[in-house]
Structure 1
Amino acid sequence: MSSGVKVCDSVIECFTNMKVRKMCSKEEGKKRKKAVLLVLNDSQELIVLDKKKEILSGDLMDGTITDALQVFAEMLPKNGCCYALFDLSYETKESKKEELVFIHWNPDAATVKDKMVYASSADALRKKIIGIKHEWQITSLEDLLDVNVWAEKLGQNVVSVECRKVELQCH
């Protein structure tokens, strides 16, 4: 089901900047977005950046933010849906990695109408953000803040997510 919603050009530009890693100065690197929220505008015709809800890499570099997942969780609307792009840092037994994750925040407290509008509009966004490796629907802050849930979604051998140690699961 498609809603006919369009994606604002600034969303596509932001996605491209987050996805493409290029050499830059330390100052330019500080302006790099770690996480952004994407919402429907008031008329629900356009997916736009929520300019007040973002985390910059510089906030982590200078220590303003020490726990990106916690700050990200606090940015999410408690009773409403949104989309997010999160530049996730994690470590496997072999290497450190960063991958862009597309999140559909769909909390239990959201109205049925809100859930339906966002679910039907997600396809418009998916078509514009080509190359996302991970797409997750998250419905609770508990799952969002549980690095073991993230590690399970990322695959085998994950030992930490956003500098938080993963509890190794015995099978």
Structure 2
Amino acid sequence: HFGSLGVFRRERSEVTFAALCLLLTQASGVKVTDEVIAVFNDMKVRKAQANEDEKRKRKKAILFCLSKDLKNIVLDEGKEILLGDIGNTVMDPYQDFVKMLPPDDCRYALYDATYETKETKKEDLVFIFWAPDSAPLKSKMIYASSKDAIKRKFEGIKHEWQVNGLEDLKERRTLAEKLGGSSVVTLEGSPI
């Protein structure tokens, strides 16, 4: 029963938190909606023959949240950046993505990172679990326990990143390190 989670204090050990998350994972039964899976599949498949209009509608970044009844992982309405937004309403997609994250609640996100290493240009999807320290404990526990449900649907993700505060991601260098360490020289066209 999630209502009783408030009795757990932050001082509890990581082992207790991990054990509780494992129990919640088994009990949560959270489902990933078909719409979320469709968005992931669309972001994963790069269509070489896509026309300009199709390219403009491709998602650069998107947030997912739990439904109000806590039974499904759904699209976080209006929380997306389209490729067509870049250069128009979005000048720096990474910074706009960071600003989309709620300061006091958890989210899952997909970010389609464009970067260059010393050898080549690359694009990779990054799965991000946003769990800020300021989020309610209940939210952190439910999101943590439901993370495997969404990860199982996002097959082929090479990069996963758990972020616990804005200081962890405000500088693009942190994401660059996740993508390829010191070999990354630019992210979203900006030098590291």
Q: For the superposition of Structure 1 and Structure 2, which TM-score range results when normalised by the shorter chain?
A: over 0.9
The CA deviation string for residues 58-113 of structure 1, in whole angstroms up to 9 with x for no partner, is 001x4321101111111111100000001011110111111000000011110111
1:95 corresponds in structure 2 to 120
Q: How does 1:42-61 map to 2 (within 5 A)?
A: 42-60=68-86
Which has more helix, going by share of residues?
2
Paired with 2:109 and 2:119, the residues of 1 have a C-alpha distance of 28
2:104 corresponds in structure 1 to 79
**How far 1:155 moved relative to its partner?**
2.1
Are the equivalent residues in 2 in contact too, given 1:33–1:56 (CA < 8 A)? yes
Are the equivalent residues in 1 in contact too, given 2:94–2:172 (CA < 8 A)? no
Runs (4+) off by over 6 Å: none
Query: Are residue 144 (structure 1) and residue 169 (structure 2) matched?
Result: yes
**How far 1:161 moved relative to its partner?**
1.3
The CA deviation string for residues 102-135 of structure 1, in whole angstroms up to 9 with x for no partner, is 0000111101111100000000001111110101
1:114 corresponds in structure 2 to 139
The CA deviation string for residues 128-150 of structure 1, in whole angstroms up to 9 with x for no partner, is 11110101001122221212211
**How far 1:153 moved relative to its partner?**
1.4
Q: TM-score, normalised by structure 1?
A: 0.93
1:134 corresponds in structure 2 to 159
Segments of 5+ residues of structure 2 without an aligned counterpart are: 1-21
**RMSD of aligned Cα (Å):** 1.0
Q: TM-score, normalised by structure 2?
A: 0.83
Which amino acid in the other structure matches residue 24 of structure 1?
Answer: A
Paired with 2:144 and 2:53, the residues of 1 have a C-alpha distance of 37
Are the equivalent residues in 2 in contact too, given 1:147–1:160 (CA < 8 A)? no
Paired with 1:151 and 1:73, the residues of 2 have a C-alpha distance of 14
Which amino acid in the other structure matches residue 34 of structure 2?
Answer: D
Structure with the greater alpha carbon radius of gyration: 2
Which amino acid in the other structure matches residue 111 of structure 2?
Answer: F
Paired with 1:19 and 1:57, the residues of 2 have a C-alpha distance of 14
Aligned identity (percent) is 54
Are the equivalent residues in 2 in contact too, given 1:38–1:48 (CA < 8 A)? yes
**Which of 27, 41, 47 is the matching residue for 2:67?**
41
Paired with 2:176 and 2:153, the residues of 1 have a C-alpha distance of 26
1:169 corresponds in structure 2 to none
Tell me the number of residue pairs that the alignment of Structure 1 and Structure 2 aligns: 165
